[in-house]
Chains A and B, each alone.
Chain A
Amino acid sequence: MQFLDFEKPIQDLYEELDRIREVSKKSKVDLSASISDIEKKIEESKKSLYKNLSGWQRVQLSRHPERPYTLEYIERISEGFVELFGDRNVKDDKAMVGGFGQIQGQTVMFVGHQKGNTTKQRQYRNFGMANPEGYRKALRLMKMAEKFNKPIVCLIDTPGAFPGIEGEERGQAEAIARNIQDMFLLTVPVVCVIIGEGASGGAIGIGVGDRVFMMENTWYSVISPESCSSILWRSWEHKERAAEALKLTAKDMLGNGLIDGIIKEPLGGAHVNPEEAAKNLQKKIVESLKELIPMDAEERIQERMAKFVKMGVFNEA
């Protein structure tokens, strides 16, 4: 397991545990008492460490290299997934995946950003940064879901839409704008979940839903803490401060009424126990669909719009 800088105390305890186990094995001395002592210590320090993570620490967890990504979640929460490729126009964007699958017998259309687990995969997936064709592929699949009256599940995990020449020329801004607007008019239920990083337009480009949830150790904002820091303080050094200022954690977002709920992760993050994380995710999706499917399509659209139209705080003299 890879540990993050702030997880050092726990890493130390794990290393001590390994050492004692080794000694016990070699010397054939029964050290089970000290072993269970350390195991208890690990549990306790985990509990206290993860109880009050800072914004920046959540950002770090959201980017943990072992964190489950979209296709892994789809694999874990659905059966019979059929991946569908291409935007029927330019190409297939590897940073955006989608297709039909069944969650406990209910057919849904999955759409989501995809990151890679290895260096090669990361490049192949363009680090989860989609181009316009990715957003148009997502919209194509969502419209197909609408045609067959199947709900849509969007899994969001992106450091941003890709800033490149071809992307600009093919209308990155138009693609994102179109998705946002057309998602409001979808006649089928839409459930969106931030499963990792929710960076600005690249995230909200598949982020308009009847329900929008964040997993516990994710972030969602208009800019990354690093970029925010470099703009405000002209260096990436103040990313911790920027992360606090942006109020980008699930708890902050729920408190500000910008999301509908938080999905619990296992202690230490989704990567510690992906199965448990997936189970929690599945439960929330199933729950939401149970509420949304019986609703009248127009009523759902009106509520979806009203929810987002309410967002924003201002003064009126």
Chain B
Amino acid sequence: MSYVKPLFHHPSLKKNKVGYVKADYEGVISTLCAGCGHDSISGAIVQACYEISLEPHRLAKLSGIGCSSKTPTYFLSNSHGFNSVHGRMPSITTGANMANKELIYLGVSGDGDTASIGMGQFVHAIRRNLNMVYIVMNNGCYGLTKGQDSATADFGSISKAGSDNPYQGIDLAGLALELNATFVGRSFSGDKSQLVPMIKAAMAHPGFAFLDVISPCVTFNNNKGSTKSYSHVRAHIEETSIFDFVPHQEALTVEYDKGTSKELELFDGSKIQLSKLAPEWDPTDRFSAVNRLHEAKANGQILTGLYYINTESEDLHGKLGTVDQPLNKLQQEALCPGSEKLEEINASFR
């Protein structure tokens, strides 16, 4: 069952630049378990869209199947949504994006949805540099089918039933880096101050933006010994930097020490500001990002923050060389070559 939230707007609620209050970005009330990490991520998405003053119909939200994939009903009710089939969100998003290059595509998936059944589509969306935000709500298990280990469960992580995982975990952010995804980061559902600006930056990035967000499953994978529990993540988190996103035409507010900070300008003029950088890591240098990730892993740390960004990538439309106008706006007059042309074609077959 879904419940509609009362649309009661407190008069003091501030409107954003396009005239919407935060509630305009919300969805129906969540039916996920109380405390589920996924709900926090939904909240961060609402916050990010409100803050960047996105008109809700400029975004399409898509997902696969799972507790995580249910979340698009819990945010952005004024946006079109598509809850597709298990593991196949990337192909639906690819087609949607081909039809209209002007919308923002936000794909939501789970670790089962992406790292197992949907692995093929995930890597191919990266390969094509599809212009989308791809969020994995990563809880190391299959929540919706009652807690089986997923392929991102770490080696040795202990399940609720007490068994330890004998398989290597798949690090989706590491994989995305390896495949040359053009925007890769990891965050934690419990760290809104980092997650919100990362979502904003991902939306501004004109290519495949991947966010692996650790999102504890309170019901099936929050036990002692699980490496995806709230307490384990909090105890082992290590940030690449303090991350801030500054939309186009807004001034930077904080000045950081030179040497440990970096400013990156995105395609649309917005900026990413990073401070407290680790030495020997440069977010525009993929090799340094790979090294940084491996180093953190070797130290038993869960590295969050932006790993890598390529600010000059060419997305799938660029690679295909499609016209500027969205394909779904082309009318019959432009698309149908007409009978005279067909006569010529017929003649070539005589």
Partners in one complex: no
